[in-house]
Structure 1
Amino acid sequence: MGIEKLPEDLLAEILWRLPVKLLLRSKSVCKKWYSLIENPSFISLQHNRTSIAATENNCLLVNQFLGGGNGNIILSFVPHETPTEDIEIFFAGLDVSKKLVLLGPCNGVICLTRQGFNSTIVMCNPSIREFRVLPEPSYKKDYLANLGFGFDPFTNAYKVVKFGYLNPDFSNWEFDERIEIYDLSTDSWREVDTVSPVEFGFRCCYEPCTSWNGDCYWYAYCTSDEQAIFRFRMSDEVFDEIPVPDVILLDNSSERKLFILDDSLALVLYPSGWVIPEWFPGRDFSLNKCFDIWVMAMDEQRVEVSWTKRYSIGPLHAPNYALGFRRNGEFLLESGGGQMMLYHLDTQQIKEYQLYGHSPPECLQVLPYVESLVSVKRHNDHEGHNDLHI
């Protein structure tokens, strides 16, 4: 029996095992294959099964800003074993003279923007080289924005939430209670009537949101000088607060970052301070750091129950920042000069991963990533209608 005569369910079982690049090429084999690979059910199944299979072999999506005249933003796929694949991006509308921030991923889709003041927002699936420039929100002038990117599984919608401060001058913070949401299915922004995070005493977030199970999380420093984790639930579009352990609140000298570890929310604490890279002229000191990793325990209904300190690591030589976790148990760290260190949580082995160029340490961002076929174009978009070029 020729492969073209295989039953569709058996053909799907074969095709979903292929990498995304080969699936994109396979769409041109025949109309049957094209329809199958474009089917939303196949796309969802392919991503879910790839996510499960990627436990030992997931890649990383690395965001670097290398500076230069007009800026030089590089996204790179870092697979488990094969060589790094750089994707240099040039597109209109997004200011690449300053570093960009990645939000997500959600089912292989990310958002690119500048954290903080008003900036163009781009939704992107880098694995299929597809981009979409979002329309401007209603409120833009003199606005310091916090952005979150997530996925609503009940409506199958990718959403961006925007909230923040009007006319910020760093001495008079006026919180804007208007909360806007962009919905990819309608390609538009709308204001939502929900409790503003100002009701929680929300002050500001220094880090991009962490996306987990479709929702958005921020570690925030509040107006009352307290600290908390805020979540925006994409399904019912409301904010709520997750308490932070008292022992963490008492530690005022550590950096705090939220990541995902073993499909759980993780909070990493480590000393503040910079490490001068070895190649820097006049380098005459280094700094060792210890890292405490707290993980949120969940009940059977996936409701947060309590925090547990799972790991205490170090001292490690010369890391600046925690960058996140790989699904194979590796802890990712910036090791000076925009380079990456991989520390295995179980074996305690350390590997250095040399990235292209010397990105400023604070401009390096790494996300665990699983490729997908999810499109960021709407069905009524004209083919090729995109202001972005690779």
Structure 2
Amino acid sequence: MSKKMIIYNPSTREIVSLPKGSRNLHKGTGIGFGFDPRSSKYKVARVFYQRDDETSMLVCKFEVLTLGTINVWRQTEDPPYPIGKSTPVHVKGAIYWMVSRTSLCPDPPNTLVRFCLTDEKFSLFPCPCNVKPSCLTGLGDELYCGYFFSQPLRLEIWGCSVVGQKPEWTRRCALQIPPDVIKRPVASPLVVFHGKMLLLALKKVYKYDIQACKLEKIPLVVEDFMCYDRENNMYQTYSKKEVMDFHLFNYVESLVSIREF
């Protein structure tokens, strides 16, 4: 599969290719996607690294593309701390990133970096218990942090409604994980409706029933996948053999064409 960036609507199976962003000198890149309530536009946010002219050190940079405009990347202010390639989370008009440990920032603070899609400014967002989370996810108007502990093997989920200047975190649940079920840290918890939670460990997915405190594996089959490329007026098929990575996401179903964004 090519490394080009695309926007994909799972409901309509429609894709739109994005223009190339600034050159990235760091392995991997972090990309966020969200809705700006002021302009009613969707925006794509991208992290990239370039060398400082004076020190020749890699510096974390940031750029934004607004869908439905001239589709040009605009560079913003630099993030306050380095951001890695981990998948960010969009909640209520802002994108949340975890701080990355680099040679320029060997001991990063236990905080999240928040990027507001309206004014395109950065701010710091506190973590629960002042501890860096293992992963992030979001559902509706709430931001969730997941903490994976090895002794004993358990996962804690903390939620925050991200309202006001002083966010309040609440521990939503804590589950014991049998070592014979999941032997590696959970990559990304996904909280869903009806008291169920989906957990991803490598390419295996598990369902946790919060009420019954029951954990079970979900059969998963990766299939070939076809989508429609409006720009070239053609269908494209992606083979399951080309799948290099695996993620779980929440999304709101929409039958609106991407071209109308």
Q: Counterparts of 2:192 and 2:26 in 1: how far apart (Å)?
A: 35
Residue type of the alignment partner of 1:369: Y
Partner SS for 1:377? helix
Asked if 1:346 is matched to 2:193, the reply is no
Deviations 1:173-208 (A, max 9, x none): 51154x3211111142242453x21xx3x1232511
Alignment match, 1:134: 18
Alignment match, 1:159: 43
Offset, 1:167: 5.5
Offset, 1:209: 0.9
Q: Counterparts of 1:304 and 1:185 in 2: how far apart (Å)?
A: 34
Offset, 1:161: 1.6
- From 63, 77, 95, the equivalent of 1:216 is 95
- From 286, 310, 318, the equivalent of 2:172 is 310
- From 119, 122, 131, the equivalent of 1:236 is 119
Contact 1:256 1:270 in 2 (8 A): yes
Judged with a 3 Å threshold, the aligned counterparts in structure 2 of structure 1 residues 186 and 309 are, in CA distance, closer, same or farther, namely same
User: What's the TM-score, normalizing by structure 1?
Assistant: 0.52
Alignment match, 1:375: 257
Q: Counterparts of 1:330 and 1:128 in 2: how far apart (Å)?
A: 26
Offset, 1:351: 3.3
Residue type of the alignment partner of 2:9: N
Offset, 1:246: 4.3
Q: Counterparts of 1:232 and 1:188 in 2: how far apart (Å)?
A: 20
Bigger CA radius of gyration: 1
Alignment match, 2:136: 258
Q: Counterparts of 1:378 and 1:372 in 2: how far apart (Å)?
A: 12
Listed as ranges, the gaps of 5+ residues in structure 1 are 1-93, 96-118, 250-254, 273-286, 380-390
Contact 1:297 1:308 in 2 (8 A): no
Runs of 4+ in 1 over 6 A off after TM superposition: none
Contact 2:95 2:116 in 1 (8 A): yes
Bigger mean CA offset, 363-372 vs 207-216: 363-372
Alignment match, 1:292: 156
Q: Counterparts of 2:50 and 2:12 in 1: how far apart (Å)?
A: 37
Judged with a 3 Å threshold, the aligned counterparts in structure 2 of structure 1 residues 182 and 357 are, in CA distance, closer, same or farther, namely closer
Judged with a 3 Å threshold, the aligned counterparts in structure 2 of structure 1 residues 260 and 329 are, in CA distance, closer, same or farther, namely farther
Deviations 1:6-41 (A, max 9, x none): xxxxxxxxxxxxxxxxxxxxxxxxxxxxxxxxxxxx
- From 43, 67, 81, the equivalent of 1:184 is 67
Judged with a 3 Å threshold, the aligned counterparts in structure 2 of structure 1 residues 348 and 159 are, in CA distance, closer, same or farther, namely same
Alignment match, 1:267: 145
Asked if 1:326 is matched to 2:192, the reply is yes
Offset, 1:142: 3.3
User: What's the TM-score, normalizing by structure 2?
Assistant: 0.75
Deviations 1:92-114 (A, max 9, x none): xx52xxxxxxxxxxxxxxxxxxx
Relative CO higher for 1 or 2, CA cutoff 8 Å, sep ≥ 6?
1
Q: Counterparts of 2:116 and 2:258 in 1: how far apart (Å)?
A: 21
The structure with the greater share of residues assigned to helix is 1
Contact 2:83 2:97 in 1 (8 A): no
Judged with a 3 Å threshold, the aligned counterparts in structure 2 of structure 1 residues 356 and 154 are, in CA distance, closer, same or farther, namely same
Judged with a 3 Å threshold, the aligned counterparts in structure 2 of structure 1 residues 245 and 334 are, in CA distance, closer, same or farther, namely closer
Offset, 1:256: 0.8
- From 172, 175, 188, the equivalent of 2:59 is 175
Q: Counterparts of 2:127 and 2:155 in 1: how far apart (Å)?
A: 17
Judged with a 3 Å threshold, the aligned counterparts in structure 2 of structure 1 residues 155 and 216 are, in CA distance, closer, same or farther, namely same
Aligned CA-pair RMSD: 3.1
Q: Counterparts of 2:130 and 2:44 in 1: how far apart (Å)?
A: 33
Contact 1:146 1:163 in 2 (8 A): yes
Identity %: 23
Q: Counterparts of 1:335 and 1:182 in 2: how far apart (Å)?
A: 32
Judged with a 3 Å threshold, the aligned counterparts in structure 2 of structure 1 residues 208 and 154 are, in CA distance, closer, same or farther, namely same
